[in-house]
Amino acid sequence: MPIRGEAGSEPSGIVMSREVVKARTSGTPVVALESTIISHGLPQPRNLEVAMELESLVRQGGACPATIAVLDGLARVGLDESELRRVATEPGFRKLGLRDLAPALASRASGATTVSATSYLAERAGLRVFATGGLGGVHRGWVSSRDESADLEVLAGTPLTVVCAGVKSILDVPATLQRLETLNVTVLGYRTWEFPGFYLHSSGEPLDWRVDDPAGVVAVMRRRDELQTSSALVVANPVAVERQLDPVLHDAVLAEALSAAERDNVRGQALTPFLLDAMVRGTNGASLEANLEAVRSNVLLATAVAGEMQV
């Protein structure tokens, strides 16, 4: 798929903003950001405030933010303020995974991109680093439901560095790590030997590899380039202990939410938003604040890694 900037004349399904085009031309590092957190993860007007805050953090770190979304049938890599506002406020804004991109572009639809779609579009646009909150993964009860996020298969075929706070803690974390291993997705703990728990500093699951600074991440990226591996590099960056959700509260609310989902027969795509909403309500918003702390930390780390790549 050809790629053009807004000022270009070559037709394409992917359009990079002028800011992103300028950054790539000048050698300024670029950090990809997802848009689902804006449209579906936060209430108005805070969603727009957070979107602008995250972009500001990237710029303050000397890089260019590239928030990714689909607008009117075009995959946009980099959004201006009016486009961010559309994502935050437009009614009926769709949630698009990789499987949804082709019909969305064909029908000139608009929607926010999930981890799978953002990863794919970022890599196709030539970006190297993507910051998000938590990845999708294997759902609890997989043996009977066979339910797992499309994120995993996409990461297996997308050579991108993804900075995250682990996978959402509502999922089956050990099973997800096993799937990532099977899919040859490398996971690095950032200053930790334990896989982060999204809202929590640690899930308690051990990791095989650790790095302690952005240069360590970039060293692994460069060796992977030499090996020409095709899967993603996941940099698991835990939320600070003092910023995490209280673990006792987390476990109690999650257990209640899982029981409610079972009782109400919540399945499939409805399950994750049901559980996340239950976590927010059951913790009086504390889970949301922990999530945002993790996202901010991931954006800062991704920006530092992208900058180190230019050295």
Tell which residue, 310, 137, 163, 134, has the closest CA to residue 232. 163
Q: Tell me whether residue 34 is one of the annotated catalytic residues.
A: yes
Tell which residue, 263, 215, 306, 226, has the closest CA to residue 29. 306
For residue 129, the cross-strand partners are 31, 161
Q: How far is CA 186 from CA 111, 180, 183, in A?
A: 30, 8, 9
Of 34, 55, 293, 308, which one is the catalytic site residue?
34
Burial class (CB in 10 A: 0-12, 13-18, 19+), 17: buried
Q: Give the C-alpha separation, 68 to 82, whole Å.
A: 14
Q: CA gyration radius for the chain?
A: 18
Which residue type is seen at 217?
Answer: V
Residue 145 DSSP code: H
Q: Give the C-alpha separation, 278 to 170, whole Å.
A: 11
Residue ranges of the alpha helices (H) in 77-213? 81-89, 101-106, 115-124, 142-145, 151-156, 173-182
Residue 68 contacts by C-beta under 8 Å, 6 or more apart in sequence?
A: 32, 33, 34, 35, 75, 76, 77, 78, 79, 113, 117, 118, 121, 122
Q: Give the C-alpha separation, 56 to 211, whole Å.
A: 26
Q: Tell me whether residue 226 is one of the annotated catalytic residues.
A: no
Q: Report helix, strand or coil for 162.
A: strand
Of 19, 55, 148, 168, which one is the catalytic site residue?
168
Ranges of beta strands (E only) in the chain are 3-5, 14-16, 30-33, 64-71, 74-77, 94-96, 111-113, 129-131, 161-164, 186-190, 210-211, 233-236
Indicate which residues carry an active-site annotation.
34, 168
